[in-house]
Every structure is written in structure tokens, then in C-alpha cells.
């Protein structure tokens, strides 16, 4: 996308002081949203939420160090972190996918569908539809929408519609990477008694009490209600996470060393927790059917 195209987006969809568009340091378009309750940035490349900062609070999301510049012929890259939509598969690259982990949606440039604002909220909708390139990996016709609502809380909804004539099966996830001060001093609450599927070992178990992650971790948790919270005593902050359209949350940290795109040491400053429909728990859509995976994040001072 050129600077002239970004300026046209601002003219068509922008609003002074509330909604704007800019180019990042890699020449990728970014939507900038603001309201009296906070500030957010969303990259149109991959529909990745880069920043969410409630007014009067520290940033909620962790974004890793910027990836090294690449040649013009290479696919663009973004720093790891933020909130990435994983679609139409969650987890390792699917067979014939060209090695794209967590799906191609986070590697495509999305279109701006609409923006709006009121006294209390600012909203953005991005869209992605199938193309000959996506059908090489996922042989279905689809319409995908990411809707972001910035207000007293921060809401992200990923809606998929089967636009074809054949049934469609997919897995998906919304994975916010939360900023923490020191990971060993953070506890994930509301998971007591939840069934657990360890994605590293394949072991199944049941969680006892809250969860503290101190090393590499990759597991699905099935809480008794669609709510978990992250308590950071050092930051004196509690992050509430409510979700819809899924029965599980993925909890992930790459562990020590440079892994998952994160630089060495960054693992101690972040924890990914978000709703997923993972392999073994897929979404099945008949022609014309829709499914929405959603989450609402609210930061509270302790």
C-alpha cells in the first residue's frame, strides 16, 4: 500500500482525533483509534492489534522487538505479540500450507470495511475474502471480518462466513500477548478445576488452583465459565478476559531463549492467553453459516 492510498483511507474512514491511518516503519498501513477511555493501533497487514493502552494505565499488550528489515521481494513481517488472529487453522502449519503456522489470515493485507465513533467508543471493521492464493492452502470460499471496539473495555470479534457451496471446517484463535512485569509473579485465575490439554506432551489433566507459568508452556484450558483473569501484583493490575464462541483458552509462553519470534529474555515480560477452537475442537460451517469468536479485555488497577 502506498502513502497516497493510506491518505485516501484517512479521507474516507478517518475522523480528527478519533480515527486515522499511517504507515509504519516497514511501509505497512496501520489504523489508529482513540477515545476518552484509551488508544489502540491495528495493522491492516494480518489484522494484528499492535497496541492497546487504556487511559491512565500501562500498555496492556506486549510487542516484541521489531523484526529485521527484509528484501522487497520477501513477505512482510511484524514484531511478535499484540493480538494476532489465527485462522483458518490454529497451531502448526497445515499440510500443503507452505509452512504458515497459525493460518494465513495473519499474513494477508486486510481491507477497511467501516469505521464509526460515538462519545464513548471508537470502532473499526476489517475484511478478508478468499482469493486464488488462499485457495491454494484452504479450498473454500469465505468472508472474514475482524471488528474492534475501543471503549471502557477493548473488544475484538472475528467472524467467519462460509461463502461457498460446501461445508467448511476450520480451527482458529485470538491470542493476545499480555504485558507483565515478571512472569513468575503473575497468576491466571478462574481456571481452578478446568480440564487441561498439554500441547507439548499430549497429557490431559485438571487444574488445581490458579496458574503460574515459569517456563515454556503451551496448553488448552477449559474453564467452567467463559472468563479468566490475569493478576499482576507487581504492576498492581488485573486483566479480565471474557470470551465467546469457544470453550477453551490457550495459554502460551515460549520459555527461555529466543523462540516463537521473541528475543531472548522477552518471555519473562509476556504471557499469551486467549480463546481458541483448536484441533480436536473444530468449527464446522454449512454454506451461508457464520461463526464469531470474540473476546473482551478490561484492565483494572488493584
- Model pTM score: 0.94
Q: Which of 34, 30, 32 is nearest to 54 (CA)?
A: 34
Residues near 185 by Cβ (< 8 Å), separated by ≥ 6?
232, 233, 234
- Average pLDDT over the chain, rounded to whole? 92
Task: Please provide residue 27's backbone torsions phi and psi, each rounded to the nearest 5 degrees.
Answer: 80, 20
Report residue 231's pLDDT band, with 50, 70 and 90 as the boundaries.
Answer: very high
Does residue 297 contact residue 273 with C-beta atoms inside 8 Å?
Answer: no
Quick one: pLDDT at residue 259? 66
Quick one: pLDDT at residue 66? 63
Q: Which of 60, 27, 33 is nearest to 45 (CA)?
A: 27
Residue 69 has pLDDT above 80, yes or no: no
Residues near 8 by Cβ (< 8 Å), separated by ≥ 6?
none
Domains, the chain, with CATH or none: 3-301 (2.70.98.10)
DSSP H or E segment with residue 292 = strand 290-301
Which bin fits 190, alpha (ψ -120 to 50), beta or left (φ > 0)? left
The percentage of residues in the chain with a pLDDT greater than 70, rounded to a whole number, is 93
Amino acid at each position: 500500500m502506498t502513502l497516497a492510498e493510506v491518505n485516501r483511507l484517512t479521507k474516507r474512514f478517518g475522523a480528527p482525533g478519533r480515527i486515522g491511518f499511517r504507515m509504519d516503519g516497514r511501509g505497512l498501513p496501520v489504523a489508529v483509534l482513540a477515545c476518552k477511555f484509551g488508544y489502540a493501533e491495528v495493522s491492516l497487514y494480518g489484522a494484528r492489534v499492535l497496541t492497546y493502552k487504556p487511559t491512565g494505565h500501562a500498555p496492556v499488550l506486549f510487542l516484541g522487538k521489531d523484526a529485521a528489515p527484509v528484501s522487497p521481494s520477501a513477505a512482510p513481517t511484524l514484531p511478535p505479540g499484540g493480538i494476532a488472529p489465527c485462522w483458518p487453522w490454529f497451531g502448526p502449519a497445515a499440510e500443503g500450507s507452505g509452512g504458515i503456522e497459525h493460518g494465513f489470515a495473519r499474513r494477508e493485507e486486510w481491507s477497511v470495511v467501516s469505521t464509526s465513533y460515538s462519545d464513548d467508543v471508537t470502532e473499526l471493521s476489517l475484511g478478508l475474502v478468499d482469493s486464488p492464493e488462499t485457495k491454494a492452502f484452504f479450498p473454500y470460499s469465505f468472508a472474514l471480518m475482524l471488528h474492534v471496539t475501543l471503549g471502557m473495555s477493548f473488544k475484538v470479534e472475528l467472524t467467519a462466513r462460509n461463502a461457498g457451496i460446501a461445508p467448511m471446517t476450520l480451527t482458529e484463535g485470538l491470542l493476545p500477548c499480555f504485558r507483565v512485569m515478571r512472569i513468575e509473579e503473575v497468576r491466571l485465575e478462574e481456571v481452578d478445576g478446568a480440564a487441561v490439554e498439554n500441547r507439548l506432551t499430549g497429557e490431559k489433566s485438571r487444574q488445581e488452583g490458579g496458574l503460574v507459568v515459569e517456563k515454556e508452556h503451551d496448553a488448552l484450558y477449559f474453564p467452567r465459565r467463559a472468563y479468566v483473569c490475569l493478576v499482576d501484583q507487581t504492576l498492581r493490575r488485573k486483566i479480565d478476559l471474557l470470551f465467546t464462541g469457544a470453550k477453551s483458552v490457550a495459554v502460551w509462553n515460549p520459555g527461555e531463549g529466543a523462540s516463537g519470534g521473541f528475543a531472548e529474555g522477552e518471555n519473562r515480560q509476556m504471557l499469551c492467553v486467549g480463546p481458541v477452537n483448536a484441533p480436536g475442537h473444530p468449527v464446522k460451517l454449512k454454506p451461508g453459516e457464520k461463526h464469531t469468536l470474540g473476546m473482551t479485555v478490561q484492565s483494572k488497577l488493584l
